[in-house]
A = this chain, B = another copy of it.
Amino acid sequence: MEFKISKDFIARIEQYISENREQELQALLHDIHTADIAEIMEELDAGEASYIFHILDSEKTSEILLELDEEIREKILKNLSPKEIAEELDEMSTDDAADIIAELPADMKEEVIQELNDDEHAKDIVDLLRYDEDTAGGLMGKELVKVNENWNVLTCVKEMRVQAENVQRVHSIYVVDDEGRLKGRLSLKDLLVTSTKTPISEVYIKKVDFVKVTTPDVEVARIMQKYDLEAIPVIDELGRLVGRITIDDVVDVIKEEADKDYQLAAGISQDVEADDSILDLTKARLPWLVLALLGGFVTVKVLGIFEPAMQNHGELFFFTPLIAAMAGNVGVQSSAIIVQGLANNTLSGSLWNRLIKEVLLTLLNGLMLASILFLGSHFLLGRGYDIALTVSISLITVIVIASLIGTFMPLLLNKFKIDPALATGPFITTSNDICGILIYFSIAKMILGF
């Protein structure tokens, strides 16, 4: 049931555009979902995309604007007048409209706001603009259905009909007092099955989950997931109901947060996509590489210290990449599992138990790996028993320490309120490279003496 964009389809659209066949294009796009039209526009060049945008009605274009990649949206908005942009925003919900305005250049913002048609809508949007985008205030929309605790069900239903006109999806009906403070909620289901004469105060549920405008967005996501909520009301400093957040907004937050952790683990420091510009991609990737390179200098320096080993035990140097890689791999595994536990809030028990468990686990893995390495070095790679023993003992030691660093580092960062995902990726592989090589040659020196 999902629409699949084919190359042929894109080619046909490009042809229609070049031949200016407006009506056929409108007919072709008529039954296609706006999310799919946005994807089609991303396959076209900026001029063609703008053409399509102009032949569709504003109900569709406002949805398309929201579905587009930021980059392409920017290009299309640039070709629109403040009045035209305002027309698009009039069709949007308050939170979406506020997000679009926040992206506009400073001088455009005010002009667009003044062109907004509906005063109530404009007021709500301006209101939303003052919240930080990473907070509940930045996520919430103003569209909600609220009733006064002093009404009865009949008044309530009448009022709701009016309010529902402006609300795309009715999630919950919130109950407030005369000062607008959140008191509880009414479920739609209760409303379907309750007689119209009942006073609201008798039917509403006094227990209601809520967040404050200043609650961080990831916290909102965690709470909604944990308590399995589809919408959550937002209150201000005085306890007044000022907005609501729906689960679809939170899905984006969850996805972004998971993507960010993944990127950090891979050594990419900003929220970039494969289709971003080379400059953006460089900015996201180069800093980590420079850090890793500087770490590499240290490994060169460390190996230099052990130069005397080259005379009688040069083969030790053949094993450095192996030892370093194993240290890196074990470190990343250990840290990843902690980072994820922290992100999902599934860590329980004390730090000591965790470290002891990690050491046991790594010793178990280490013993097996060291046995393979011992046998492999001797029989497969033809090295002497002394070398085989040296590298095997070093391997166990190195990976136990690597796993301890990997476990400890994200916990430490988290303690200091730094994103623990920073600890994975190039950061941990580099520091484990250095430690690993230092330990390896120190052990070799003790066993072989050079």
Contacts and interface: CB of A to CB of B under 8 A. Distances in A.
Contact of A341 (B225, B275, B346, B430): B275
Given A161-B192, A210-B1, A293 B326 contact: yes
A268 B425 CA distance: 14
Nearest to A332: B266
A325 B251 contact: no
A292 interface: yes
B321 A303 contact: yes
A328 B295 CA distance: 14
Counting every copy of the chain, the complex holds 2
A19 interface: no
Contacts of A248: 228, 230, 247
Interface residues of A, number: 122
Interface stretch (A115-123, A146-154, A363-371): A363-371
A333 B289 CA distance: 10
Given A292-B326, A314-B310, A247 B230 contact: yes
A448 interface: no
Contact of A282 (B164, B293, B364): B364
A329 interface: yes
B230 A274 contact: no
A179 interface: no
Interface stretch (A52-60, A97-105, A125-133, A252-260): A252-260
A380 interface: yes
Interface of A: 1-2, 31, 33, 35, 42-43, 69, 157, 160-161, 164-165, 167-170, 188-189, 192-193, 207, 209-212, 219, 223, 225-228, 230, 246-248, 250-251, 254-255, 258-259, 261-263, 265-268, 272-275, 278, 281-282, 285-286, 288-290, 292-293, 295-297, 299-301, 303-304, 307, 310, 314-315, 317-326, 328-330, 332-333, 335-338, 340-341, 344, 346-349, 354, 357, 360-361, 364-365, 368-369, 372-373, 376-377, 380-381, 424-426, 429-430, 433, 437
Given A1-B211, A225-B255, A325-B430, 5 more contacts: A35-B226, A282-B365, A296-B322, A300-B377, A301-B381
18 contacts: A1-B209, A2-B226, A35-B226, A42-B348, A164-B192, A247-B247, A247-B248, A261-B262, A263-B336, A263-B340, A275-B347, A278-B357, A278-B361, A282-B361, A289-B369, A293-B376, A317-B318, A321-B321
